[in-house]
Structure 1
Amino acid sequence: MAIRQENAGVWYHWGQAFCNMRKFDEAIACYDKALELSPGDPVIWRRKGFALLKIGRYDEAAASFDQALAIDPENATAWQRKGYALACLGEHKDAVACCDTALTLDPRHILAWQSRGWLLGVMCRYDEAADCYEAVLAIDPDRRSAAWHRERMRERRDLEALAVEIREAERFIEVPACIRDVVAERDYGNVALARAALRELVGRAEAVAVHRS
């Protein structure tokens, strides 16, 4: 790994100061100056990537993390942040792969678990997303945001299951509007009741059909 040239360190610390002040354009300019002097420093590439993320320049951020990873491929945070950049570009499958790499390197990387959970939720893979937030809670039981997101993923899973059951039930009965409305209005609080009612209605219809036969 390259040793940071002295003047590069000055520019790097200026970049850090601007980041702390949320002046990300100025920070990026400083990191660029530092990289002119120490292009083989993965820390500067990572910090530049972080600043680029903050101002929504996701393509450039991903490229900065690629540069960092070419020098230091075992940095879990660089993989996680590259995944976040790719997610913002809509490249969800590749973003999940980046999170997986980060977690292979550091199984207790909370941000990688959270990013993976968010991505899987976007991809409607709700059980897997809930498992990611469960992993966060195993590391930090007091992280309330993870508990909140885990429950939201379970709610979405159950709502999707109700939608599937409604489509299947339509072959046998006319599904009441009040049950359809639970899905249409995303009424998570009544999903369990709606599923139970729908199953009872389908059961009655099947019993009548058997009796008639």
Structure 2
Amino acid sequence: MAKMAKMANVLKELDRSAGEAYKKGRISFQIGRFEEALTDYNEAADAWNRAASISFEIGKKASGKAFLEKAWDARSCYGMALFKLERYEEALGIVDAALELKPESPVEWSNRGFVLSALNRNEEALEAFNRALVLDPESPKILTSMGIVYFRMGLLEKALDTFDCALAAEPKKASDWACKIPRFSFFSRNKAPIMKPDNAGAWYWKGKVFLELGENEKALNAFKMALESDPDHLDSLLTGGDLLCKFEEYDEALRCYVRALKLSPGNEAASRGKEFCEAKINGC
């Protein structure tokens, strides 16, 4: 009994320390400290693996499997931190190992698509995203990722169709929805809260396609829609600001660059855009 109680305390402590490391890893990842995230996720995975081994040794198979699941979740996050650090081959190795254990995971198939796209293996990336889509049909996030690959392959009409599918798709979870009062838009037309998918990425990339097609008015509207969905979408602020400058809408462009600098202090593109707009507005 004393030994079992001791083992239970050891497992509890391992689970606690792993959970803390995992939370630290998520915070580090979210603020862009990917090296720190690697350390934290690795610590979490090691602790949960040790907990799993102990559980199996004392005959607690259910607990062991639960700890292994947590360990692999931490390893998956570790792989995405590697991805952010552009260590793509290492990231791919972790994703493929995860898929051997969880071949029906749409998240891991999506992760594989991200990594393969970064490696410019676009056909394989599309295959991975298609596998993810089979497991999670009409996922807006997966469809947007596929559209980005089509865009990079120069298949612009296919990209547009895919982004439209992403924008039309119903989100599966409450976390995929955004209900927010637009704090910023190019034209400030919306007066009431909006309830719709958090689809800024799809609108942004749709705008990029229109730019490639030379349809600047449609591109501007797409960036406007992206910012109505997410007023803090940095890429839309910067690209939208640049496009507004082409339309000589310097006051609106300046607002984009000022907001971008609040989100990303020292951003060179935003600083240049701000200075350019101020010079135009002041008649310099």
After TM superposition, the score normalised by the length of structure 1 is: 0.62
Pick aligned residue for 2:271 from 132, 144, 147: 147
Alignment match, 1:50: 148
Rounded Cα–Cα distance in structure 2 between residues aligned with 1:121 and 1:26: 38
Q: 1:138 to 1:14 in 2, by over 3 A?
A: closer
Same amino acid, percent of matched pairs:
31
Q: C-alpha displacement at 1:136, in angstroms?
A: 0.7
Matches within 5 A, 1:195-206: none
Matches within 5 A, 1:15-164: 15-36=113-134, 38-71=136-169, 72=171, 73-154=197-278, 157=280
Q: C-alpha displacement at 1:85, in angstroms?
A: 1.4
2:120 partner SS: coil
CA contact (8 A) 1:45 1:65 kept: yes
Alignment match, 1:198: none
Report the AA paired with residue 211 of structure 2.
A
1:18 partner SS: helix
Query: Highest relative contact order (Cα 8 Å, sep 6+), 1 or 2?
Result: 1
CA contact (8 A) 1:87 1:119 kept: no
CA contact (8 A) 1:86 1:95 kept: yes
Q: 1:150 to 1:75 in 2, by over 3 A?
A: same
Q: C-alpha displacement at 1:57, in angstroms?
A: 2.1
Report the AA paired with residue 35 of structure 1.
L
Rounded Cα–Cα distance in structure 1 between residues aligned with 2:105 and 2:254: 47
Unaligned runs of 5+ in 2: 1-102, 172-196
Alignment match, 1:209: none
Q: C-alpha displacement at 1:12, in angstroms?
A: 3.2
Rounded Cα–Cα distance in structure 1 between residues aligned with 2:241 and 2:156: 20
The answer on 1:6 being equivalent to 2:104 is yes
Larger Rg: 1
After TM superposition, the score normalised by the length of structure 2 is: 0.48
Unaligned runs of 5+ in 1: 162-191, 193-213
Q: 1:141 to 1:7 in 2, by over 3 A?
A: closer
Q: 1:8 to 1:138 in 2, by over 3 A?
A: closer
1:6 partner SS: coil
Report the AA paired with residue 88 of structure 1.
E
RMSD: 2.6
Q: C-alpha displacement at 1:97, in angstroms?
A: 1.4
Rounded Cα–Cα distance in structure 1 between residues aligned with 2:158 and 2:246: 23
Report the AA paired with residue 257 of structure 2.
Y
Alignment match, 1:184: none
